[in-house]
Structure 1
Amino acid sequence: MGYYVNVEPGVKLYVEDLNPGGSKTIVFLHGWPLSHKQFEYQFNVLPSKGYRCIGIDWRGFGDSDKPYHGYNLDRLADDIRMVVEALKLTNFALAGHSTGGAIAVKYASRNNNYGLSHLILIDAAVPTGFTKQTAAQLLNESLNDRPKMMRDITDMFFFQYISPPFADWFFQTGMQAAGWSTAAIIKMLSEFNLEADLGTINVPTLIVHGTHDKVIPFSQAEEMHRKIRNSQLIPFHYSGHGSFYCERDKLNQLLQQFVK
């Protein structure tokens, strides 16, 4: 079931809500520059196991509205809070991949862990995102040849083999975003630092990270683990930045074991 939630005047976010009657709820936040569709291989499995799975497209991405403003962590986290309140969610797990992981951490910190039972960080861009050099290169490519940038991102994202049709699907998912929001998030990813936010998390936290990640190095996962109380780090030895697909069966099993 899909619907829209108003998060501010003139801005609506698209929400995919699977198995609303499920006994446990997991809210999924996608990575840059994707959408809730990246979690297809979680949504294929978890609702049939009794989980309510909610995928939210951030502003500027997927099927959500694409305004020219609001592309900073505080606003993106506040958007999630608006959806949480609109859906009256309580005792839910929040799972964020890559930049979605940064938004999840900011949500927990900014809202005193409001409504959270668990936090799941998948190849998260935490505590920092891109280096200045990487961001400058991606920003230039995004503003001048976004399709080439997205193709290059696809090529470096996965450690396991992906078929050409899958690569095309992934590419098109990224191209569904607006050009201005894609560029704005690149800039954001070079500016934030969430080290201070990590100490405010007080819910059980699962950290999943590909050891072959070329986008966000595994050392950042180790730093998260050191700084988040009551966290566990599970290395994914056969994954790059796309562990949600490279080791999808393992991730699905872990999510079921963690969120009971």
Structure 2
Amino acid sequence: MGYYICVETGVNIYVEDINREGRRTILFVHGWPANHRMFEYQFAALGRQGYRCIGLDTRGFGNSDKPAHGYSYDRMADDIRAVVEALQLQDITLGGHSTGGGVAIRYMARHNGYGVAKLALFAAAAPSLIQRPYFPYGLQRQAVEQIIAATHNDRPQMLRDFGNMFFFQHVTEALADWFFQMGLQAANWATAAVAESWLDEEELFTDLGKINVPTLILHGIHDRVCRFPLAEAQHQGIAGSRLVPFEESGHGLFYDQRDKFNEELARFVAE
């Protein structure tokens, strides 16, 4: 079932709600530049196991409204709060991929984990996607600036280039095009604005220490977008967290090793 939730005046977020009668709920926050459909292999498998799976399209992406503003981690975390309140969700597992993982971390810190019993991070863009003087493990700032420039100049080619570094396992041309089409659904300005937020966002370093729920970290060791040392930093910064390396995965670990991914996530939710 799909529907819209108003998160602020004039801005509606699209939500796909699978198996509403499920015994436990997982709220998925997708990564840049995709939408909720990137988790369709999780919705299918986990839905069959009796879980309620909710996927939202963050503002500017997928079927959600595409305003000119509101692409900071704070605002996107506030959008999650609006969804949680509107659906009256309690004791859920909040799962986020890439930028969605960073936004999920911000949600936990900014909203004190409202409604969340467990946190799952999938190749999360945290504590920093880019290299900083005190954190040399991310992408070079120049690489992100080139992504932003390419978004403004030739977004389809930028999306093709990004797709080429997303998966570690071989994917068919059809699947690569499926991922490409998700990126095209986003607004140009939203795609660029979220990428610009990667350059400015530094508070995730302190946000990690504010997380006080069981946390699962799934991360591919061949990730070329959010490199594996980011996962190690998350593990170090979140007390009691569990890190599971994916030996045959890149950034798209939910597809590269989807059976392992689904098994690890289902086990964590059921614990």
- 1:186-213 Cα shifts (integer Å, max 9, x gaps): 1001111211000000000000000000
1:36 corresponding residue in structure 2? 36
- Name the Cα RMSD after superposition: 0.6
Taking the aligned partners of 1:186 and 1:226, their CA distance within structure 2 comes to 25
Equivalent of 1:188 in 175, 197, 201: 197
Supply the AA of the counterpart residue of 1:81: R
- 1:3-41 Cα shifts (integer Å, max 9, x gaps): 000000100000000000101000000000000000011
The range that moved more, 61-70 or 127-136, is 127-136
Residue 173 in 1 paired to residue 189 in 2? no
What SS class does the counterpart of residue 40 from structure 1 fall into? helix
Q: TM-score, normalised by structure 1?
A: 0.99
- 1:113-162 Cα shifts (integer Å, max 9, x gaps): 11111100000000012342121110110000000000000100000000
What percent identity do the matched residue pairs reach? 55
Supply the AA of the counterpart residue of 2:86: A
Equivalent of 2:162 in 149, 153, 170: 153
Q: What is the 5 A alignment of 1:105-120? A: 105-120=105-120
1:245 corresponding residue in structure 2? 255
1:20 corresponding residue in structure 2? 20
1:216 corresponding residue in structure 2? 226
Supply the AA of the counterpart residue of 2:46: L
Residue 51 in 1 paired to residue 60 in 2? no
Equivalent of 1:198 in 190, 198, 208: 208
Supply the AA of the counterpart residue of 2:179: F
Taking the aligned partners of 2:47 and 2:40, their CA distance within structure 1 comes to 11
What SS class does the counterpart of residue 55 from structure 2 fall into? strand
Supply the AA of the counterpart residue of 1:167: A
1:133 corresponding residue in structure 2? 142
Taking the aligned partners of 1:256 and 1:83, their CA distance within structure 2 comes to 23
Supply the AA of the counterpart residue of 1:179: N
What SS class does the counterpart of residue 44 from structure 1 fall into? helix
Taking the aligned partners of 1:46 and 1:88, their CA distance within structure 2 comes to 21
Displacement over 3 Å in runs of 4+: none
Q: Which runs of 5+ in 1 are unaligned?
A: none
Taking the aligned partners of 2:101 and 2:75, their CA distance within structure 1 comes to 15
**Once the 2 structures are TM-superposed, how far is the Cα of residue 170 of structure 1 from its aligned partner?**
0.5
